[in-house]
């Protein structure tokens, strides 16, 4: 451990604004990159699932008069 | 040679690539995030303070990997652009499409953390010198590649236009790399060199190595996942994607 206490750690020898804002930006950037990619996958499967359901419903509707 | 040729032909099959890359993408994301967390916490809390800069040097554990990755990502994007232009391989176009939005984030992280680091260290947020300016040019190259991909109604035209810029823009990479050696600048020279031992003690450079490694592996994972997203989007009318969607829904 490089710091004696939590206060020292957070204070960063007076450089807390620079160090913590940098790490905030870095973590935010990594999180945005990760979440954006994972959500795109989820959205794709949701949208395509809806499209396929719509298609099968309209296909059933088209079949209905013939079977009646 | 025969196996290499088979691999090359298989790369032409999006479905094959999607199925093979899925587990690798997830694995790389997990390993990369763990390495990044270890490297950053180590650098932030355990590594000793710099004798000259005090604690502000800890920004290095983010700034250096982000900068390295924004350049590596661009090189990969440029190479993929060249493959697209020469062999018209669709997968290469998807790599360009997936890499640009990742590289741009790394580039922004590198520029912002560099600026923040510059304030206590150089006494200024920004200088128009060789390293910082060539890095800013890299950011605009990323923006340009992303904009070109949106600028044409035909996806093939857009892909080729973006690929041309990606290839031409690679000229900026050696300029960034050697800017600190060619010109007088405030920016320090490379932290890691292949030809000599690091000028830092292990307690300082080990977390940096882990962080850089973590960024690489994380990038690899996001890239594979992003290419997978591109494959699904482009193949959404095919039977195998429809089957996959149905199996996910049930």
Would you list the domain boundaries of chain A? Answer: 23-59
pLDDT in tens, B207-227: 999 999 999 999 999 999 999
pLDDT at A3: 84
Q: Is B49 on the interface with A (CB under 8 A)?
A: yes
CB contact under 8 A, A29 and B109: yes
Give A1→chain B minimum CA distance, Å.
Answer: 4
Give B91→chain A minimum CA distance, Å.
Answer: 18
CB contact under 8 A, A25 and B112: yes
Do residues B84 and B160 lie in contact, with contact meaning Cβ atoms separated by under 8 Å? yes
pLDDT at A60: 81
> Could you tell me the pTM of the whole model?
0.90
Arithmetic mean of pLDDT, A17-27: 94
Write out chain B residues lying below 8 Å of A32, CB-based. Answer: 105
Do residues B108 and B62 lie in contact, with contact meaning Cβ atoms separated by under 8 Å? no
pLDDT beyond 80 at B171: yes
Q: How far is CA B122 from CA B10, B27, B94, B143, in A?
A: 52, 40, 41, 28
SS3 at position B222: helix
User: Where do the H-state alpha helices sit in chain A?
Assistant: 6-11, 16-67
Give A58→chain B minimum CA distance, Å.
Answer: 17
Residue among B59, B66, B233 whose CB faces A19 most closely: B59
- Eight-state DSSP code of residue B54: B
């Amino acid at each position: 451990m490089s710091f004696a206490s939590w206060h020292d750690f957070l204070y960063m020898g007076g450089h807390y604004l620079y160090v913590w804002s940098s790490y905030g930006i870095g973590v935010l950037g990594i999180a945005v990159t990760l979440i954006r990619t994972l959500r795109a996958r989820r959205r794709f499967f949701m949208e395509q699932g809806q499209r396929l359901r719509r298609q099968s419903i309209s296909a059933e509707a088209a079949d209905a008069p013939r079977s009646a | 040679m025969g196996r290499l040729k088979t691999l090359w032909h298989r790369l032409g099959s999006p479905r094959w690539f999607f199925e093979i890359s899925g587990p690798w993408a997830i694995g790389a994301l997990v390993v990369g995030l763990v390495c990044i967390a270890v490297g950053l916490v180590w650098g932030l809390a355990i590594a000793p303070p710099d004798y000259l800069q005090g604690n502000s040097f800890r920004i290095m554990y983010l700034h250096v990997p982000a900068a390295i990755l924004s350049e590596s990502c661009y090189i990969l994007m440029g190479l993929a652009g060249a493959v697209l232009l020469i062999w018209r391989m669709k997968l290469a176009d998807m790599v360009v499409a997936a890499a640009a939005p990742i590289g741009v984030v790394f580039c922004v992280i590198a520029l912002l953390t560099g600026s923040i680091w510059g304030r206590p260290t150089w006494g200024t947020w920004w200088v128009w010198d060789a390293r910082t300016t060539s890095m800013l040019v890299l950011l605009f190259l990323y923006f340009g590649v992303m904009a070109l991909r949106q600028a044409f109604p035909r996806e093939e035209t857009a892909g080729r236009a973006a690929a041309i810029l990606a290839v031409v823009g690679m000229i900026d990479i050696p300029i960034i790399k050697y800017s600190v050696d060619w010109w007088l600048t405030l920016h320090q020279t490379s932290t890691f060199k292949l030809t000599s031992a690091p000028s830092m003690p292990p307690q300082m450079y080990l977390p940096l190595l882990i962080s850089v490694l973590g960024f690489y592996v994380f990038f690899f994972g996001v890239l594979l996942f992003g290419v997978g997203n591109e494959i699904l989007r482009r193949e959404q009318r095919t039977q195998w994607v429809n089957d996959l969607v149905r199996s996910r829904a049930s």
